[in-house]
Structure 1
Amino acid sequence: MSSKLIPPNPDEVMVIRDLSPNVVTFSVPFLRFGRIPIGGRGTLIRLTSGSLAVFSPVAHTAATAAKVASLGGDVRYIVATDIEHHIFLSEWAAAYPHAKLIGPEGLPEKRLAAAAQGDDPRIGTEGFGVVVNKGNGRDAGAVGEDFGRDFEMEYFAGHPNREVVFLWKPEGVVVQADLVFNLPATEQYSRVPEAERPRLGVLGKVFSSFQTTAGDALGMKRFLWYVASRNDRAGFDESVARMARWEFDTIVPCHGETIVGDGKAVFEKVFAWHLEGKGKGK
């Protein structure tokens, strides 16, 4: 049940941050496995057309609705950036019924199965306007004409979570879910009273050591090499190489701190083994 993973009072603990007049993040507490505080983050972007796209949406609340309204209110795209970040799609689809749902292959079936089981009332049976797969995984124009003008898209088909990564070209902002974590989740727990913040146990400390970009990021490099890319390392490397040609300085992850200003340098550091050739630098 998603209720065991997310806060019951999202507006009381949500941090709404304007990265620019066109890019907004919604950061909330989130527990991985119901135990490890990794935080969650949705991203709202106003396209040059004036329409809005929301990525990995968090709870749709009075505060998020007000922010959407302040940017014009025309939510045209609701995007699940992988097969895990979909809990709140139905809430946003109900609030903005003319929006198109976007997600990776396998997610529509996963949601239909969950809805049939009936154990999570948040998950509905809405149809997807675009299902991202190997055939269209680099074609942002398949999502929508105005979307294609503003975004680059890269589908990591071999990633365990089937990651879909986006570059918003006008401001050099990469939006992604689980390709890169950047723990600890400081911002995402900043409005939680100190006494109520979860503490890292042994499992949490081990997990976090593999999901931080700090220092030489050796743990993350090992995770990306031995876990995230193990199913299709050649395809993974090709996707990383294409991303390396993008122009960006900000990375918005779903878990942990947003990387502003030095996003490209951090990307090149954590993916060095994939960019430099098999095992070089290990």
Structure 2
Amino acid sequence: MSGTKLFPGDPSDVMVIRQVTEDITTFSVPFARFGLLRFGGRGTLIRLTTGNLAIFSPVALTPTVQHLITSTGTGKITYIIAPDLEHHIYLTTWKTAFPSAVIIAPEGLYEKRQQDPTSYPERTAFDFTFTKENKHTLHISDEFHNDFEIEYVDGHSNREIVLLHRASRTLIEADLLFNLPATEQYARSGEGAMQGVVNRAFMPLVKLGTGGWQGWFMWWVLSKGDRESFGRSVRRIASWEFGRVVPCHGDVVECGGGEVFRGVFGRFLC
């Protein structure tokens, strides 16, 4: 599916670019799941200690984003991270712009793209692929592992790669945790994140701290393929020290993120 079908309008007009920390910049855009549920989308740029750059869940590579990259650190994208089976639309765009960057992705994504030659006619190679077997032994590079803790949540139906940026104690994730409504991601769209009957009914159900719907959904739906492995991954992430959570969908949790995470996934931590 092309990016133009996913994100309304010109990405340059609707994207919200924010410096979250000295080393983390987010690119937030409107995105409606099934054309109805306003989940929002977000790419996250991280400057490593070396000055090289990593992009997590890349969104549209607009001229403004390109200019920002050239003025950040070495100006060199070294790592392009497709965090799960859903967040990969712009991989080739970024790889073409930064051909020396390596692509990090979960198992199954390469095959998924090859099965849809209309949307993905190119055969962009993946340099590092996380699997259930190699999840704790796959070595990306010394500079990458020095800056990040990594957990591959193979038990999640979307096969999630989750990062902890050690220096800022920031958890960066895609579909493991939502923080809806997507206020920031719709801030420049001219439309509200709660607009429409469906969103007014749905968003209060998934808002963090209002009844544990996300925890229920993870238990009964997204982890049902391998709940034991999912639980091990969640327990490992819960053991990390982090205050901030940068999700792909919804607003950034600026503080207390560890407590929020453990609250959502409490049934897995017993």
TM-score range, shorter chain: over 0.9
* Counterpart check, 1:181 vs 2:192: no
> TM-score of the superposition, structure 2-length normalised?
0.94
> 1:58 offset after TM fit, Å?
0.5
Who is 2:261 aligned against? 267
SS at match of 2:149: strand
1:225 to 209, 219, 224: 219
> 1:211 offset after TM fit, Å?
3.1
Distance 1:209 1:235, change over 3 A: farther
Who is 2:81 aligned against? 79
1:112 to 114, 118, 125: 114
> 1:209 offset after TM fit, Å?
4.5
User: Is 2:181–2:194's contact at 8 Å kept on the other side of the alignment?
Assistant: no
User: Is 1:37–1:200's contact at 8 Å kept on the other side of the alignment?
Assistant: no
Query: 1-side partners of 2:197 and 2:183: how far apart?
Result: 17
Matched residue pairs, number? 268
User: Is 1:41–1:58's contact at 8 Å kept on the other side of the alignment?
Assistant: yes
1:145 to 139, 142, 150: 142
List structure 1 runs of 4+ shifted beyond 6 angstroms: none
Who is 1:208 aligned against? 203
> 1:135 offset after TM fit, Å?
2.2
Query: 2-side partners of 1:172 and 1:17: how far apart?
Result: 18
Distance 1:225 1:217, change over 3 A: same
> 1:208 offset after TM fit, Å?
3.1
User: Is 2:106–2:160's contact at 8 Å kept on the other side of the alignment?
Assistant: yes
Query: 2-side partners of 1:261 and 1:6: how far apart?
Result: 29
Who is 1:91 aligned against? 93
User: Is 2:243–2:256's contact at 8 Å kept on the other side of the alignment?
Assistant: yes
* Counterpart check, 1:246 vs 2:223: no
> 1:136 offset after TM fit, Å?
2.4
Deviation per CA, 1:121-146: give whole Å up to 9, x if none: 6x63110000111122234x612221
* Counterpart check, 1:8 vs 2:2: no
* Greater CA drift, 26-35 or 216-225: 216-225
User: Is 1:210–1:223's contact at 8 Å kept on the other side of the alignment?
Assistant: no
> 1:205 offset after TM fit, Å?
4.8
SS at match of 2:260: helix
SS at match of 2:89: coil
Query: 2-side partners of 1:197 and 1:212: how far apart?
Result: 13
Distance 1:206 1:107, change over 3 A: farther
Query: What amino acid is aligned across from residue 30 of structure 2 in structure 1?
Result: P
Query: 2-side partners of 1:31 and 1:88: how far apart?
Result: 17
Who is 1:124 aligned against? 122
Query: 2-side partners of 1:197 and 1:255: how far apart?
Result: 11
SS at match of 1:50: coil
> 1:193 offset after TM fit, Å?
1.5
Runs of 5+ consecutive residues of structure 1 not aligned to the other structure: 278-282
Runs of 5+ consecutive residues of structure 2 not aligned to the other structure: none
> 1:210 offset after TM fit, Å?
4.8
Who is 1:280 aligned against? none
2:195 to 196, 199, 203: 199
Query: 2-side partners of 1:167 and 1:234: how far apart?
Result: 22
Query: 1-side partners of 2:82 and 2:155: how far apart?
Result: 17
Distance 1:243 1:198, change over 3 A: closer
Query: 2-side partners of 1:161 and 1:172: how far apart?
Result: 24
Query: 2-side partners of 1:226 and 1:135: how far apart?
Result: 24
Query: What amino acid is aligned across from residue 74 of structure 1 in structure 2?
Result: K
Query: What amino acid is aligned across from residue 255 of structure 1 in structure 2?
Result: H
Equivalent positions of 1:160-171 (< 5 A) are 160-171=157-168
Query: 1-side partners of 2:134 and 2:200: how far apart?
Result: 38
Query: 1-side partners of 2:218 and 2:200: how far apart?
Result: 18
Query: 1-side partners of 2:54 and 2:142: how far apart?
Result: 13
User: Is 2:53–2:75's contact at 8 Å kept on the other side of the alignment?
Assistant: yes
